[in-house]
Chains A and B, each alone.
Chain A
Amino acid sequence: MSKKDIKLEAQALNAYYGDFHALKNINIAMEEKNVTAFIGPSGCGKSTFLRTFNRMNDYIDGFRVEGQILLDGNNIYQKDVQVDELRKQVGMVFQKPNPFPKSIFENVVYGLKIQGIKNKAVLAEAAEKSLRQAALWDEVKDNLNKSALALSGGQQQRLCIARALAISPTVLLMDEPASALDPISTAKIEELIYELKNHYTIVIVTHNMQQAGRVSDQTAFFYMGELVEYAKTKTMFTSPKDNRTQNYITGRFG
C-alpha cells in the first residue's frame, strides 16, 4: 500500500487562554482520507486542538496560538488566510446538533447560498447528494420543507453532517458528534464516518473509547494539554507505550 499524503499537520503548536497554557508543543501529522480520533479526559485540550484546525477559537477573548497548523502544507494561521475560505475546506460537526431554525432544505443548502449560489436545480441536487451521503435522504425526502427542529436528535446531527458536506470540504472535524445521542443514532453516525472516510479526512474528538476503537485508523491521546501518544488505533489499544495512556484506556482515570 502506498503511503498516503499528509493532509493536516501541527508543528510546535502552543495555545493559551489568557495565562492558561492549554496546548503544549503539539506535533502531529494526519494522513489524507483517514480517521483520527482524539481521546483524553475532560479538559485535556483535545477539543481546543480540534478547533485550531478551522480557527474556531479565534472568537474567544484572550485565546492565542503559537506554532503552525498546515493544511495541504499551507499554514492556516498566516496573516493573509481568509478564515471563511478556510472553513469551506474544513467543515465541522459539533457536540450538540445545532441545525438552524429553518427548513431541512434551507439547512443543507445554507453554505451554498452564502456563497451566492441561487440556481434552484443546483441547490436541489446538492441537497439530495449531501443528504444521501449523510444517510438521511430516505427519512426526510418527502419533508424537505419541514422545520429542522422537528427532527429527532440523531436526525438533526446527520442533518448537520449533510450541511457540512454540502459545501464539499476536504476535512471534516467532529467534536464528540454522538455524545448527545442514543445508542442507535450513535451507531448510525459511526457507520456514516466509516463511509465518509473514503472521501474525507476526518478528525473526531470522543470521550468514548469503544467509539475511538471502532471508527478510527489513528488515535491521539491527550493529557493536560500534551499529546502523550499518537499511534495506529489497534496498536494503541493493545499495547500503549505510555503509562498514562494505559491507565486512561483501561479506565483507571478519566
Chain B
Amino acid sequence: MRVSEKIIEGLLWLSAVITILITIGIIWVLLSESISFFQVVSLSEFLTEKEWTPLFADKKFGIMPLVAGTLLTTAVAIAVALPIGLTIAIYLNEYAHARMKQIVKPLLEVLATIPTVVYGFFALTVVTPFLQQFIPGMAGFNALSAGIVMGIMIIPMISSLSEDAISAVPRSLREAAYGMGSTRLQTSFGVMVPAASSGIVVSVILAISRAVGETMIVAIAAGQQPRLTLNPLVPIETITTYIVQVSMGDVPRDSLEYKTIFAAGITLFVFTFALNNLSFWIKKKYQEKYD
C-alpha cells in the first residue's frame, strides 16, 4: 500500500476514534461528578423527594419536579407536533403534486434552522400574551407556551421522518389499496400509515428525545420554578433549564450545589439515551420487510 493511502486511512481511523473518546469522556465526567454527588445525597432521596431546592438554605434534592417539568413541556410539544407533522407527511405523500412537494419540504426544514433562542422569545413575547387573552389565569412563564413553540420547532422532524417512512412503503401496496376502490383518505390511514408505523413511531421517539433535551425555549419561556405539577399554566422548571441556571450563576465550583447539575445531567442523559435506543430497537424489530 502506498504511504499516502496509509496516512489517509490513519486519519479516518483517528477521527472515528476521537469521536468515541469524546463520548466516553463526557460520560466519564458525568458519572464521576454525579458519583460524588450521590455520596452525599442518597439515590432514594433523589428519586422520591418531592422538592428540588439545592440553592436554598433548606436544601432538598428531589429530581421529580424537574422531571415533571421536562415531561410536561415535552408532552405539550408532541401533542402539537404529532398531529400536524403526520398530517403534513400524509399530505405530501398522497395529495401534493411533485412540484408542491419540492417547495414545501425545504420550507418546512427552515423551521428547524431557526435558532432556538428566537423560538424562546417568540413563546415569551408572542404566544404567551396571545394565550393570556383566552386563559386569564395563565402565568407569564408557563409550560404551555414553551411546549407549543417547541412543538412547532419539531414539526419538521416528525413530518420529514414520517414522510420518508411512508414513501418507503412499496408503491404496490398503494396500488393494491387504490385497486380495491379505496379513496385517498382510506389509502393513507388504512394502508400507508399502518405499513409505515414503525418509521413513524421512530420519528416520534426521536422528536421526544429532542424535546426532552431542548434548552433555550424552556429556559426563556417556561420559568425557573421547580414544581411537581401537571398544570401547564404555571411556571415550572425543566432539567435543562436548571442546568443552565446553575452553570450561569455564581455557585462555587466543586460545591454540592455545583454537583447537582451533573446529577441532573445524567438523569437527562439516561432519558435521551433510553429513547434513542428504543427507537433503534423498534426500527430493527418492527420494520416491515418487503422483499
Q: Residues of A with Cβ closer than 8 Å to B?
A: 54, 56, 59, 61, 84-88, 91-92, 94, 96, 98-102, 110-111, 114-115, 149, 160, 163-164, 167
Q: How far does the alpha carbon of A100 sit from the alpha carbon of B177 in the complex, in Å?
A: 9
Q: How far does the alpha carbon of A88 sit from the alpha carbon of B182 in the complex, in Å?
A: 9
The answer to whether A56 touches B179, judged by C-beta atoms less than 8 angstroms apart, is yes
Q: How far does the alpha carbon of A99 sit from the alpha carbon of B182 in the complex, in Å?
A: 15
Residues from chain B with Cβ under 8 Å of A92 in the complex: 175, 179
With contacts A61-B97, A114-B190 taken as known, whether A87 is within 8 angstroms of B175 at the C-beta atoms is no
Q: How far does the alpha carbon of A115 sit from the alpha carbon of B178 in the complex, in Å?
A: 13
User: Can you list 16 A-B contacts with CB-CB less than 8 angstroms, sorted by A residue number?
Assistant: A54-B179, A86-B181, A87-B179, A87-B180, A88-B180, A91-B180, A98-B172, A98-B175, A98-B176, A100-B173, A100-B191, A114-B182, A114-B183, A160-B176, A163-B176, A167-B180
Count of CB-CB pairs between chains A and B under 8 Å: 64
Chain B: minimal CB distance from A195 (Å) = 21
Residues from chain B with Cβ under 8 Å of A102 in the complex: 194
Chain B: minimal CB distance from A161 (Å) = 12
Residues from chain A with Cβ under 8 Å of B172 in the complex: 94, 96, 98
Chain B: minimal CB distance from A182 (Å) = 15
Chain B: minimal CB distance from A126 (Å) = 13
Residues from chain B with Cβ under 8 Å of A84 in the complex: 181-183
Besides A86-B181, A91-B179, 11 other A-B contacts (C-beta < 8 A): A56-B175, A84-B183, A87-B179, A98-B173, A98-B176, A100-B191, A110-B190, A114-B180, A149-B288, A163-B176, A167-B181
Residues from chain B with Cβ under 8 Å of A111 in the complex: 180-181
Q: How far does the alpha carbon of A91 sit from the alpha carbon of B177 in the complex, in Å?
A: 11
Q: How far does the alpha carbon of A54 sit from the alpha carbon of B98 in the complex, in Å?
A: 23
Interface residues of B in 233-291 (CB under 8 A from A): 288-289
The answer to whether B181 touches A100, judged by C-beta atoms less than 8 angstroms apart, is no
The residue of chain A having its C-beta at the shortest distance from the C-beta of B174 within the complex is A59
Interface residues of B in 91-131 (CB under 8 A from A): 97-98
Residues from chain A with Cβ under 8 Å of B183 in the complex: 84, 114
Residues from chain A with Cβ under 8 Å of B289 in the complex: 149
With contacts A100-B173, A101-B288 taken as known, whether A56 is within 8 angstroms of B178 at the C-beta atoms is yes
With contacts A88-B181, A114-B186, A164-B180 taken as known, whether A100 is within 8 angstroms of B175 at the C-beta atoms is no
Per-residue contact bits, chain B 137-180, to A (CB 8 Å; 1 contact, 0 not)? 00000000000000000000000000000000010110111111
The residue of chain A having its C-beta at the shortest distance from the C-beta of B197 within the complex is A101
Q: How large is the interface on B (under 10, 10 to 19, 20 to 34, 35 or more residues)?
A: 20 to 34
Q: How far does the alpha carbon of A78 sit from the alpha carbon of B44 in the complex, in Å?
A: 73
5 smallest beta-carbon distances between A and B, as pairs: A98-B172, A92-B179, A87-B181, A88-B181, A111-B180
Q: Does B71 contact A (CB under 8 A)?
A: no
Chain A: minimal CB distance from B152 (Å) = 31
Residues from chain A with Cβ under 8 Å of B98 in the complex: 61
The residue of chain B having its C-beta at the shortest distance from the C-beta of A55 within the complex is B178
Residues from chain B with Cβ under 8 Å of A56 in the complex: 175, 178-179
Chain A: minimal CB distance from B192 (Å) = 10
Residues from chain B with Cβ under 8 Å of A101 in the complex: 173, 194-195, 288
Chain A: minimal CB distance from B97 (Å) = 7
The answer to whether B178 touches A87, judged by C-beta atoms less than 8 angstroms apart, is yes
Chain B: minimal CB distance from A114 (Å) = 5
The answer to whether A98 touches B170, judged by C-beta atoms less than 8 angstroms apart, is yes
Residues from chain B with Cβ under 8 Å of A91 in the complex: 179-180
The residue of chain B having its C-beta at the shortest distance from the C-beta of A113 within the complex is B190
Chain B: minimal CB distance from A40 (Å) = 22
Residues from chain A with Cβ under 8 Å of B186 in the complex: 114
With contacts A101-B194, A101-B195, A101-B288 taken as known, whether A110 is within 8 angstroms of B173 at the C-beta atoms is no
The answer to whether A94 touches B176, judged by C-beta atoms less than 8 angstroms apart, is yes
The residue of chain A having its C-beta at the shortest distance from the C-beta of B173 within the complex is A98
Q: How far does the alpha carbon of A111 sit from the alpha carbon of B195 in the complex, in Å?
A: 17
Residues from chain B with Cβ under 8 Å of A88 in the complex: 180-181
The residue of chain B having its C-beta at the shortest distance from the C-beta of A87 within the complex is B181
Q: How far does the alpha carbon of A129 sit from the alpha carbon of B159 in the complex, in Å?
A: 41
Per-residue contact bits, chain B 188-210, to A (CB 8 Å; 1 contact, 0 not)? 00110011000000000000000
Q: How far does the alpha carbon of A164 sit from the alpha carbon of B177 in the complex, in Å?
A: 10
Q: How far does the alpha carbon of A36 sit from the alpha carbon of B98 in the complex, in Å?
A: 36
Q: How far does the alpha carbon of A86 sit from the alpha carbon of B181 in the complex, in Å?
A: 7
With contacts A61-B97, A61-B98, A114-B190 taken as known, whether A100 is within 8 angstroms of B176 at the C-beta atoms is yes
Residues from chain B with Cβ under 8 Å of A54 in the complex: 179
The answer to whether A164 touches B181, judged by C-beta atoms less than 8 angstroms apart, is no
Residues from chain B with Cβ under 8 Å of A149 in the complex: 288-289
